[in-house]
């Protein structure tokens, strides 16, 4: 079983559309959406959710109103300004303290020092993850709560579960829609994968972002390939990118022309390959063949 991770230097390069097209071309594959901060593979693959689980990225404090004696010690100690005197009355005091879950960083200091043993320390629910069926096979994906962090931890969880299911189902290939950028989620997306495919665009910012992400991937001792989306919008820049990455020992294995079919397919909730048999589909098929040859 092989694991292919598709990433990009930044969002909006067409990465997810290409992953969706790969899904429609793959045989006996399983898919994972590890772009958890902007998950949209489900918009094309239209998963039928079979199992939903909560994701906990850490622990948080919460005050038990009935026990609070309103001494204010927790508020004084909290470095994150997460505790306020805005709770209801109880049998002892007219007002109690509460924890703001958005500000609580889970340091546990308040829990340790509360004289009334009034503070609980429980798993915080930061999102949900799903095992679903799609028309191309099983998909594992997630929804992170608004402004939640720990997406690297969620990415690792999704990859682990995808691998477990792939082993059970005897899938030959795992295709991962990885996180963009160079932060913790992308590191969690590519660690231990068999092949990384970077999608880029022929723009100056695309070139810079590609350099940064290629540098990051190089540190992981994983084979890296590049595909240039919309290459014909700036063939000179596409050529420059090809030359640049070659100097790093990375090959451009696909060039996909600009085609409005990409957007139209997205609107129709289909992959480009399902939507049209035109030249752009041939570009994607050629890229797919090259990637499958390399993995």
Give residues in contact with ligand SF4 (CB under 6 A): 61, 63, 68-74, 77-78, 80, 82-83, 97, 99, 104-110, 114, 116, 118-119
Instruction: Name which of 111 and 193 has its Cβ closer to ligand SF4.
Output: 111
Q: Could you tell me the smallest distance in angstroms from the CB atom of residue 79 to ligand SF4?
A: 7
Instruction: Name which of 63 and 197 has its Cβ closer to ligand SF4.
Output: 63
Going by the DSSP 8-state scheme, the letter that residue 183 receives in this structure is S
- Decide the pairing of beta strands 96-99 and 83-87: antiparallel
Instruction: Name which of 2 and 67 has its Cβ closer to ligand SF4.
Output: 67
Instruction: Name which of 116 and 292 has its Cβ closer to ligand SF4.
Output: 116
Token code pair at residue 101? 């879950």
Strands (E), 88-223: 96-99, 119-124, 127-134, 137-144, 173-177, 195-200
Q: Could you tell me the smallest distance in angstroms from the CB atom of residue 74 to ligand SF4?
A: 3
Instruction: Name which of 63 and 238 has its Cβ closer to ligand SF4.
Output: 63
Instruction: Determine the Cα–Cα distance for residues 236 and 239; give it in Å rounded to an integer.
Output: 5
- The total of other beta-carbon atoms located within 10 Å of residue 159's CB is 24
Q: Could you tell me the smallest distance in angstroms from the CB atom of residue 96 to ligand SF4?
A: 6
Instruction: Name which of 116 and 187 has its Cβ closer to ligand SF4.
Output: 116
Q: Which long-range contacts (CB under 8 A, 24 or more apart) does 115-120 make?
A: 115/69, 115/71, 115/73, 116/67, 116/68, 116/69, 116/71, 117/67, 118/63, 118/64, 118/67, 118/68, 118/69, 119/61, 119/62, 119/63, 119/64, 119/74, 120/61, 120/62, 120/63, 120/64
Instruction: Name which of 69 and 187 has its Cβ closer to ligand SF4.
Output: 69
Note whether 193 and 221 are within 8 A (CB): no
Strands (E), 207-269: 224-229, 251-256
Token code pair at residue 102? 């958005």
Q: Could you tell me the smallest distance in angstroms from the CB atom of residue 77 to ligand SF4?
A: 6
Q: Could you tell me the smallest distance in angstroms from the CB atom of residue 31 to ligand SF4?
A: 37
Q: Could you tell me the smallest distance in angstroms from the CB atom of residue 75 to ligand SF4?
A: 7
Q: Could you tell me the smallest distance in angstroms from the CB atom of residue 124 to ligand SF4?
A: 10
**Tokens 């006996």 belong to residue:** 28
Query: Is residue 225 helix, strand or coil?
Result: strand
């Amino acid at each position: 079983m092989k694991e292919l991770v598709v990433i990009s230097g930044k969002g909006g390069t067409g990465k997810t559309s290409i992953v969706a097209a790969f899904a429609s071309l793959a045989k006996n594959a399983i898919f994972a959406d590890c772009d958890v901060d902007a998950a949209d593979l489900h918009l094309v693959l239209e998963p039928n959710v079979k199992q939903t689980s909560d994701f906990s990225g850490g622990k948080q404090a919460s005050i038990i109103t009935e026990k609070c004696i309103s001494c204010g010690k927790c508020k004084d100690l909290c470095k994150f300004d997460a505790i306020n005197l805005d709770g209801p009355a109880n049998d002892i005091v007219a007002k109690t303290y509460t924890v703001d879950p958005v500000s609580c960083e889970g340091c546990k200091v308040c829990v340790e020092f509360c004289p009334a043993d009034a503070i609980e320390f429980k798993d915080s629910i930061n999102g949900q993850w799903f095992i679903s069926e799609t028309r191309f096979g099983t998909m594992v994906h997630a929804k992170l709560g608004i402004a939640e962090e720990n997406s690297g931890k969620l990415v690792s969880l999704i990859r682990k579960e995808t691998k477990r299911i792939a082993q059970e189902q005897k899938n030959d290939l795992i295709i991962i829609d990885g996180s963009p950028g160079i932060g913790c989620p992308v590191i969690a997306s590519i660690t231990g994968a068999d092949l990384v495919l970077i999608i880029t665009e022929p723009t100056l910012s695309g070139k810079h972002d590609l350099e940064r992400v290629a540098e990051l991937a190089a540190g992981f001792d994983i084979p890296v390939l590049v595909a240039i989306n919309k290459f014909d919008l700036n063939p000179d820049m596409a050529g420059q990118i090809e030359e640049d990455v070659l100097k790093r020992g990375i090959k451009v294995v696909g060039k996909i022309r600009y085609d409005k079919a990409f957007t139209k397919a997205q609107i129709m909730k289909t992959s480009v390959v399902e939507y049209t048999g035109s030249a752009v589909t041939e570009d994607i098929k050629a890229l797919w063949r090259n990637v499958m040859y390399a993995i």
